[in-house]
Structures are given as structure tokens and as C-alpha cells.
């Protein structure tokens, strides 16, 4: 008999699905209007910061951005490693199939490299979820994990539920099983993002984890309420609300960015499309575009890009400094 996770479709869940579907359609249309590379990178950083902060990582979005750009920061080595692992995982996420066990194990290996010994494999011992000094959930025995995960992955592969329902149920069931010695929270959130991205790729760039971090207690309360009821409806309602809030937040940001984008010239778009996440001198920027006349470059490319807020000076207080460089504004 095939495994069927227990959950109830409430009126709130139906209402949230309708709102999300409408909002995601509007957001998708907006991102097609604009070149949203800068926004996508900013949201990816917010996603990683939020997901790791839930697990106790203290690095800021600015520090994560610095790591992404290859800079050295002063921070606990473990937290830096967590960020590097997460950046790599989100780079590879589009190569994974959410119902493939080998991909799940590979993702865990990437996320937890250098952090624990048991990477890319299910746990070999018992594990409990703690709230302070209190055990709030004892996960199933280790000898049941492989069977439970394979049943869950089979349900994911063969089910015909709406992706918003399917991803939320999977997320809850995954946390209930707690299949790994560590990293279950960040893996569950990563895998829900992966499942949703199969429905609409824009979910790769919506920082749901940032909203979960801001509502961390409610996140754990929803998990516990679902366990107490043997029904994941409370968790589904909570996570769908976080998804909707994240979409609406991204929608507002994208509208502002889209309005600015339609006002910038083709020259400015050409400039930022050729720039990478690093610092450039004025001469280096001109070389990117194969231009030699400095005054024309400054008038048609550099000044409009600075005024549009899509690039910024590294020495904003010294605009004429010979050491001045320019970078994409995140």
C-alpha cells in the first residue's frame, strides 16, 4: 500500500493557494520586463542568510555578499563554511530532481561539508528536536529512516497534488523524519524551494527563508501543532502564508525596479549586462564595451548608470579620486 501523508485541505489553504497563484503570475510578468540579475542575487543572499540564521548563523547579508565576491571576512570559520556550502548548493539546485534520493543525499553533502562527519548519508543514531532543555519531538529510529524517506520520495514522484501543497507536506514530513544527523532544517527549506521551482523557476529567487526567520517561533509552533494533530494542515497554512508574504514583498521590490528599468537607456543596460560582481576602474569599464572616448562613455553610460542607481562608486565621498572604482549595486 502506497504511503499517503496525513493532511487536511482547509479553506485557508485554498484561499492562500489562490492568492499565491495570482501574485506569482504578476511577479513573473514583472521580472520579464526588467533585467533582474541584481535583484535575483540580492534575494539569493537574503534566502541564504535567513535559512542559516534560523540555525544560529550570525553573518549578515553584507558579509555573505563579501564571501560571494571572494572577499575575506572576519567571522567564525564554521559560519563562513556554512555560507560557502549554501552558496554552492543554491548554484547547483537547478540540476537536481526533487524525487531522486541520490540528489537529496548530494545536496546534504554539499550543505554540510566540513561541518559534520555524516555528510550525504542518513543518520545512524537517534535524534530529537529540542526547545531549550525540552525534547519536543523524538524522530523515528535510525533503522526506519531509509524506508520512510523512500516512501516519501515515491509519494512526491507519483503524487498529483498542487505543488504548493506537495512541497509543504514534503517539508513537514521531512522534518518529522529528521533523516540526517544535522542540517535537517536547512535541507527541508532547500527542498521545498526546489519542488516549487519545478512549478515556476521564479521561486529560486523568492527569499521565503528570510520571512521564516522573521517568524521563527511560529515556524516551530506550526511544526509542533502538525505533529500533535497527526495532520500537517497547521504547517501548510503557516508556510503558504510565508510564501505569499515573500512574493508580495518581492512584487513590491520588482515594481520599483521595473519602473526604473524602463527608464534607463540601452547603453546603461549594455553596461550592466557586461559587468560582473567585482570592482572596475573607469578604463576597465570602457574596455568591457570596447570604447575609447572617455567623455562619450561618461555621458552616455557611466553617469546615467550612477543616476539610475544600478552601479555605485567604491569611494562615494571622493568622486574624482584616481583610485575610484565602480561596481554593480546590490
Q: Residues at the annotated binding site?
A: 129-137, 182-189, 219-220
Residue carrying the nine cell digits 521545498: 192
CA angle 15, 4, 142 (to 5 degrees): 120
CA-nearest of 246, 243, 248, 301 to 275 is 301
Q: How many CB atoms lie within 10 A of CB 127?
A: 19
Q: 3-state DSSP call for residue 130? A: strand
How far apart (Å, rounded) are the C-alpha atoms in residues 302 and 193? 37
Q: What is the DSSP string of 48-69?
A: HHHHHHHTT----HHHHHHHHT
* Catalytic residue, candidates 103, 108, 171, 178: 178
**Contact assessment for residue 5 and residue 234, using Cβ atoms and an 8 Å cutoff:** no
| H-type alpha helices, 178-215 | 184-199, 208-214
**Across the strands, what pairs with 312?**
327
C-alpha pair distances (Å), 82 with each of 48, 49, 58, 94, 113: 9, 10, 11, 20, 8
Widest pairwise Cα distance in the chain = 74
At how many degrees (to 10) do helices 184-199 and 77-92 cross?
20
Binding site for ATP, by residue number, is: 129-137, 182-189, 219-220
178 catalytic residue (yes or no): yes
Q: Which residues have C-beta within 8 Å of that of residue 33, sequence separation ≥ 6?
A: 258, 261, 262
What's the CA gap between 200 and 28, in Å, rounded?
A: 9
Cβ neighbors of 218 (< 8 A, separation 6 or more) are 238
Cell numbers standing for residue 228: 500533535
Other Cβ atoms closer than 10 A to 266 = 8
Residues recognised as catalytic? 178
Amino acid at each position: 500500500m502506497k504511503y499517503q501523508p496525513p493532511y487536511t485541505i482547509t479553506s485557508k489553504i485554498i484561499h492562500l493557494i489562490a492568492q499565491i497563484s495570482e501574485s506569482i503570475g504578476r511577479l513573473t510578468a514583472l521580472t520579464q520586463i526588467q533585467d533582474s540579475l541584481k535583484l535575483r542575487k540580492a534575494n539569493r543572499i537574503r534566502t541564504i542568510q535567513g535559512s542559516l540564521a534560523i540555525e544560529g548563523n550570525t553573518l549578515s547579508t553584507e558579509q555573505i555578499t563579501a564571501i560571494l565576491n571572494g572577499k575575506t571576512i572576519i567571522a567564525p570559520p564554521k559560519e563562513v563554511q556554512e555560507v560557502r556550502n549554501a552558496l554552492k548548493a543554491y548554484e547547483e539546485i537547478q540540476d537536481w530532481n526533487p524525487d531522486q534520493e541520490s540528489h537529496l543525499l548530494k545536496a546534504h553533502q554539499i550543505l554540510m561539508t566540513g561541518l559534520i562527519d555524516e555528510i550525504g548519508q542518513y543518520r545512524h543514531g537517534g535524534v530529537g528536536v529540542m526547545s531549550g532543555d525540552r525534547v519536543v519531538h523524538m524522530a523515528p529510529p535510525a533503522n526506519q529512516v531509509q524506508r520512510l524517506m523512500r516512501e516519501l520520495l515515491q509519494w512526491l514522484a507519483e503524487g498529483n497534488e498542487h505543488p504548493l501543497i506537495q512541497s509543504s507536506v514534503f517539508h513537514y514530513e521531512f522534518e518529522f523524519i529528521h533523516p540526517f544527523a544535522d542540517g535537517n532544517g536547512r535541507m527541508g527549506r532547500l527542498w521545498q524551494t526546489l519542488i516549487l521551482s519545478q512549478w515556476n523557476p521564479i521561486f529560486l529567487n523568492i527569499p521565503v527563508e528570510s520571512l521564516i526567520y522573521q517568524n521563527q517561533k511560529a515556524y516551530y509552533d506550526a511544526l509542533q501543532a502538525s505533529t500533535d494533530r497527526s495532520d500537517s494542515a497547521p504547517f501548510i497554512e503557516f508556510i503558504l502564508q510565508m510564501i505569499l508574504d515573500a512574493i508580495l514583498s518581492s512584487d513590491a521590490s520588482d515594481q520599483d525596479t521595473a519602473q526604473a528599468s524602463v527608464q534607463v537607456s540601452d547603453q546603461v543596460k549594455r553596461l550592466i549586462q557586461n559587468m560582473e560582481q567585482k570592482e572596475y576602474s573607469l578604463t576597465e569599464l570602457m574596455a568591457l564595451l570596447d570604447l575609447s572616448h572617455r567623455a562619450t562613455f561618461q555621458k552616455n553610460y557611466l553617469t546615467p548608470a550612477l543616476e539610475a542607481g544600478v552601479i555605485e562608486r567604491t569611494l562615494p565621498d571622493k568622486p574624482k579620486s584616481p583610485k575610484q572604482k565602480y561596481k554593480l549595486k546590490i
